[in-house]
Amino acid sequence: MRSLLYTIGSLLILLLSHDGGFTGASDAEHTFRATDIHTHRHRRNHGHRRGEEFEYSALSCRAYSASLDEFGAVGDGVTSNTAAFRDAVSQLSRFADYGGSLLFVPAGRWLTGSFNLTSHFTLFLHRDAVLLASQEESDYEVIEPLPSYGRGRDTDGGRFISLLFGSNLTDVVITGENGTIDGQGEPWWGKFKRGELKYTRPYLIEIMHSDGIQISNLTFLNSPSWHIHPVYSSNIVIQGLTILAPVTVPNTDGINPDSCTNTRIEDCHIVSGDDCIAVKSGWDQYGINYGMPTKQLLIRRLTCISPDSAVIALGSEMSGGIEDVRAEDIVAINSESGIRIKTAIGRGGYVKDVYVRGMTMQTMKYVFWMTGSYGSHPDEHYDPNALPVIQNINYQDMVAENVTMPAQLAGITGDQFTGICISNVTITLSKKPKKVLWNCTDVSGYTSGVTPEPCQLLPEKQPGTVVPCNFPESSIPIDEVKLQRCYSRRRLM
């Protein structure tokens, strides 16, 4: 409990430290500055420098290393270092079969456009290193839409490649001593709002068709759109991240595992204008045809502030399926909803075997929210007979205070959301709650030990006795993966 209170206090100090805060932003949205972060973020399990040697935790250690400044990079915040990053990764890639390599980013402000990662590779940021994403569209290649989406999320056409990108890779680590990657997204947000973009905005990190990914001990700021997007990938550890974006800017999701298997997200602190974590698997007929679910997902020790979105969202792009999601020890502050399932007619797919417990919430619009009419579609060719299956959804051991409405649960007529279990949940209402506290349609299941009293479609299972939901006893494979203690030093090649 003490660590949770410390986390909440740190985030509130961080929010209050910004002139004008988040609310009431004009077209020039308030953005975070890297200098704002170093004063307030708490220390996590980061590397420790010893002269030219440093140590860090990683899935894999490396035999070779080099520093970015050895490739002609200049950390003045003005000089473009795109060529230096690309050259460094290219040169280090030759060690992939000989113990792998590490690129050390020293203290400085390193302006760069997009660059690709390579296999058996570590990108390591010094605590005072800031990667500044270029704001020039020309620094981002336009690539094809994801096959499970059929189009870009912002526009009908392609999409700008992410700042850090990789495809068909093995064993990739992006880590550091809490260094910063700043997306400098403000110009992109303005162009999107004004409808001036021809292509979908870039993400900060997107890694596709890859296995063995670690993203840890870093701060991410102000992405043009989503911050972290692993897609079509497996065996992923995301750990110890701080992700900050203005709460007035849409689509700045924190972490979006998409058609991924065996993923662990833990010890992350996110402030976002959209969902802190959004679990996805493709959009309508494109996701159905691609057929790659997100499964075996573990989320724990997450702190989230998202006034207009969810702490954890499942969907709405869930057409490839979402299953075996486990979340625990979650803190939500001033957020629209705790757990939200978003889907619609035409999505197909499924969301099943979801287990959430140990959640503490303060100042919420909804605690539980299920939406069967989240109606955006990639095009007019979706199948109106493709109905989603929502079943075996379990929520347990939760406390929420200052809540406007405990639950808004709306299934689909003729396609009921089934197997909902809510157990041992105490909700304290705000001073002006909704008249209808539980609004339930086309759902079924049971509750046990829940206050205020739930809707009739979720009756008390055994009055007077708290009956727990059925949580799995076995672990998922990624929970057994341990990081190694690695040592490296600047080494000229």
Print pLDDT tens along the chain (493 aa): 434 443 444 444 344 333 333 233 333 345 555 544 433 333 334 454 444 688 999 999 999 999 999 999 999 999 999 999 999 999 999 999 999 999 999 999 999 999 999 999 999 999 999 999 999 999 999 999 999 999 999 999 999 999 999 999 999 999 999 999 999 999 999 999 999 999 999 999 999 999 999 999 999 999 999 999 999 999 999 999 999 999 999 999 999 999 999 999 999 999 999 999 999 999 999 999 999 999 999 999 999 999 999 999 999 999 999 999 999 999 999 999 999 999 999 999 999 999 999 999 999 999 999 999 998 999 999 999 999 999 999 999 999 999 999 999 999 999 999 999 999 999 999 999 999 999 999 999 999 999 999 999 999 998 888 999 999 999 999 999 999 999 987 544 4
Candidates 69, 154, 274, 397; catalytic one: 274
DSSP assigned state of 373 = -
Tell me how far apart the alpha carbons of residues 355 and 410 are, in angstroms, rounded to a whole number. 19
CB contact at 8 A, 112 and 81:
yes
Q: Given this model, what pLDDT does residue 53 score?
A: 81
243, amino acid identity: I
Say which CATH class 67-251 falls into.
mainly beta
Q: Tally Cβ neighbours within 10 Å of residue 366.
A: 24
3-state SS of the chain: helix, strand, coil percent to 5? 15, 45, 40
Rounded Cα distance between 206 and 196, Å, is 23
Helices (H), 21-129: 34-40, 82-92
Confidence (pLDDT) at 464: 86
What does the alpha-carbon distance between residue 263 and residue 487 come to, in Å, rounded to a whole number? Answer: 25
Question: Measured at the alpha carbon of residue 313, what is the angle toward residues 311 and 316, in degrees to the nearest 5?
Answer: 150
pLDDT of residue 489: 74
Give the C-alpha separation, 416 to 444, whole Å. Answer: 7
Q: In which residue ranges of the chain is CATH 2.160.20.10 found? A: 67-251, 252-478
Q: Does the annotation mark 275 as catalytic? A: no
State the pLDDT at residue 47. 52
370/410 Cα distance (integer angstroms): 6
Q: pTM for the whole thing?
A: 0.91
CA 193 to chain centre: 22
Q: Which CATH superfamily is domain 252-478 in?
A: Single-stranded right-handed beta-helix, Pectin lyase-like (2.160.20.10)
